[in-house]
Structure 1
Amino acid sequence: MRMKNKGVYSSITEVVGNTPIVRLKKIEEQYNIKTQLYAKLEYLNPFGSVKDRIAEALVEDAWKKNKYRKDTVIVEASSGNTGISIASVAARKGLKCVIVIPENTSEENKRMLELLGARMIFVSKGIQEAIRKAKEFTGLIKSAVMTRQFENKVNIRIHKKTTAKEIIKSLKDIDYFVSGVGTGGTITGVGEVLKKKKNSNTLIVAVEPWKASVLSGKQVNPHGIQGIGVGFLPAILNIKIIDYVFRAKDYEAIEYARIMAITEGIAVGLSSGAAICAGMKLGADINDASKKVLIMVPSSAERDMSTELFDNNSQSLDNLVKTDSKLEITMDKQLNEQQDLPMQIS
């Protein structure tokens, strides 16, 4: 976690955390949203995403369990951001790193992994195949250690220890916490702390792709919102704390990321665009000046420069997003009984 006012740090990992929360006043004004909208800008971590928070903790946990040697290989399955953060930690520790990555991962993520010295193994069928391949590779290589971001509860603990505490310190009485669901670490870690806070009435809103809505019990198909919608329920995800599920369409992730850029001057990526979409529509639906909505912004637009977010030929903003306060909201009430949700979708 970042140390305040130190000035000089002994390693890049000390710079992680204490990201700012910014009120989205211009969006509130332009779209006539009475509800208070806030964004926690996680892309201001040193390697550009919320995954910087968990990387060192995952690698250190693997070290405690397996004891590194000079030939140790750190292995993870990732669509980009976690892989980049882990590759950074491995590089600083002088460890080899292998990231198993879906072929459709953005070129920016691939190039960053290459720059950090990570070896990439590509798979064609998405993150579930990447996880299987990473486990297979780890089993075959004696010196390989897998950090297991989708299963390791260290992922949750670090968000409780850092992200949740930062939020509570900066913003009192949050009514809605909006977060995309990838590994489930952020929404579970922060959500559990917010729910247990004294006199808490915070409602937790999970954001997933329309085309891969596992939490909503829908069929899983390929989608374009990297970082969320992995197509299965991660082992560390606590679905019992989720009050609402928002299903974001691919084009909404693009267009609301553009809204964030041209209105607030904050350039965010596609998963962030999906969360902004959920937060804005929720805010418009509530339309109550006393209510506060906090939106997690996990990564920046720079990670998505090769995607449709930067495609000038995609549909125009005017055709896709109405610039008035009548924003439709598609929120599914989340059932808290685990048996009501599919545990695995292949």
Structure 2
Amino acid sequence: MKTNKVYSSITEVVGNTPIVRLKRLEEKYNIKTQLYAKLEYLNPFGSINDRIAEVLVEDAWKRDKYNKDTVIVGASSDNIGISIAAVAARKGLKCLIVVPESIPEEQTDMLDMLGAKIVFVSNGITEAFSKAKEFTDNVEHAVMICQFENKLVVKTHKKTTAKEITKSIKNIDYFVCGVGTGGTITGVGEVLKKKNPNTSIVAVEPWKASVLSGKQIQPHRIQGIGVGFLPKILNIKIIDYIFRARDYEAIEYARIMANTEGMAVGLSSGAAICAGIKLGEAINNPMKKILIMVPSSAERYMSTELLDNKSQSLSELVTLFGHPDVDITQNSDKQQEPTL
């Protein structure tokens, strides 16, 4: 990102991330469809969650005016906790983040470096939110961030992420996005649909936590998506297709993105890249454009399976994680037939 501007705050640097054509991946898989990626890991705190953190903290301020005793409380199973902690540090506020024990150690190290207090829970993001609420209810000056319910998340993505996309690239045929809070796919998806009703929105979720597909929820390794419930801010009606990514696919395609395009991305990004490539292969039309949302970098997942077993082949990973079925399904709420 080129700029000669001098900023007064790190939060002013958020946004305006680049869109890059993935020509090497197109060549590698002999895909005629145009593949593009929006690189959200180039935000200052390292993820797409940087876009919503200050908005959420400011919204909390409106509910309980800041003072020297204010504690910003959040629950996080991915990078949102880091973004919130960074904003809190910038504003001189105390911060407490409740996280599942399974969170990568790089993320807890970053939370600690930013001055946040960390509380661990054993049963995922649902328990983390419950514990965060319990703390908030029992501490007088604590205010809680709730990214899965706050409509400002969607509004922010409409005003920033979607605006950048529509300004940079015209006539997107498919928008591929993982579902975490549901804010990105809803905000961007609604704007793209309004501009062109023929744009297809492709939701990416873990194979083992396929809530959108109505499947049973199991533990999975793709941090950042597949929270195990339908977020209140998610607009299911705009979703045309659902791609269920297996754990090993997220790992393998994150590696492929790194050693093919030179972009070191995280696990949910790997899942989205997998979906985009398989979609591109199915369409195979040089006139069609696929935009893939890349939310975070590999640096936050170095202690996960992203680097473990790095000498293993794809077939060995398949044996470890499951059979490599391809599953691009149409949203059951949609009436039209798939066009893939």
**Category of TM-score, reference length = shorter chain:** over 0.9
Residue 242 (structure 2) pairs with residue 245 (structure 1):
yes
Match for residue 280 of structure 2 among 266, 283, 286: 283
Residue 50 (structure 2) pairs with residue 52 (structure 1):
yes
Which residue does the alignment assign to 1:179?
177
Report the Cα offset of residue 80 of structure 1: 3.1
Report the Cα offset of residue 102 of structure 1: 0.3
> Where does 1:1-346 land on structure 2 (aligned, <5 Å)?
5-197=3-195, 199-312=196-309, 315-317=312-314, 329-336=326-333
- The one-character-per-residue Cα deviations of 1:238-279 (angstroms, maximum 9, x if unpaired) are 111111110000000000001101110110000000000000
**So what's the TM-score if we normalise by structure 1?**
0.92
Distance change >3 Å, CA 253–CA 119, structure 1 → 2? same
Report the Cα offset of residue 204 of structure 1: 0.4
- The one-character-per-residue Cα deviations of 1:178-200 (angstroms, maximum 9, x if unpaired) are 00000001001100111111x44
CA RMSD of aligned residues (A): 1.6
Q: Which of structure 1's runs of 4+ aligned residues deviate more than 3 A?
A: 312-315, 317-321
Give distance in 2, aligned partners of 1:254 and 1:271: 9
- Aligned residue identity for 1:252: E
Give distance in 2, aligned partners of 1:182 and 1:313: 27
Give distance in 2, aligned partners of 1:29 and 1:200: 30
Give distance in 2, aligned partners of 1:255 and 1:271: 11
Report the Cα offset of residue 68 of structure 1: 1.3
- Aligned residue identity for 1:296: M
**For the Cα contact (< 8 Å) 1:173–1:200, is it kept in 2?**
no
**For the Cα contact (< 8 Å) 2:64–2:141, is it kept in 1?**
no
**So what's the TM-score if we normalise by structure 2?**
0.94
* Structure 2 stretches lacking a partner, 5+ long: 319-323, 335-340
**For the Cα contact (< 8 Å) 2:73–2:96, is it kept in 1?**
yes
Give distance in 2, aligned partners of 1:43 and 1:277: 17
Report the Cα offset of residue 280 of structure 1: 0.3
**For the Cα contact (< 8 Å) 1:281–1:328, is it kept in 2?**
no
**For the Cα contact (< 8 Å) 2:266–2:299, is it kept in 1?**
yes
- The one-character-per-residue Cα deviations of 1:107-140 (angstroms, maximum 9, x if unpaired) are 0000000000000110000001101111111111
Calculate percent identity across the aligned residue pairs. 75
- Secondary structure of the residue that 2:208 maps to in structure 1? coil
- The one-character-per-residue Cα deviations of 1:42-98 (angstroms, maximum 9, x if unpaired) are 000001000000000000111112211211100111013100000000001110000
- Aligned residue identity for 1:63: W
* Structure 1 stretches lacking a partner, 5+ long: 322-326, 338-346
Give distance in 2, aligned partners of 1:84 and 1:297: 17
Give distance in 1, aligned partners of 2:118 and 2:78: 11
- Secondary structure of the residue that 2:279 maps to in structure 1? helix
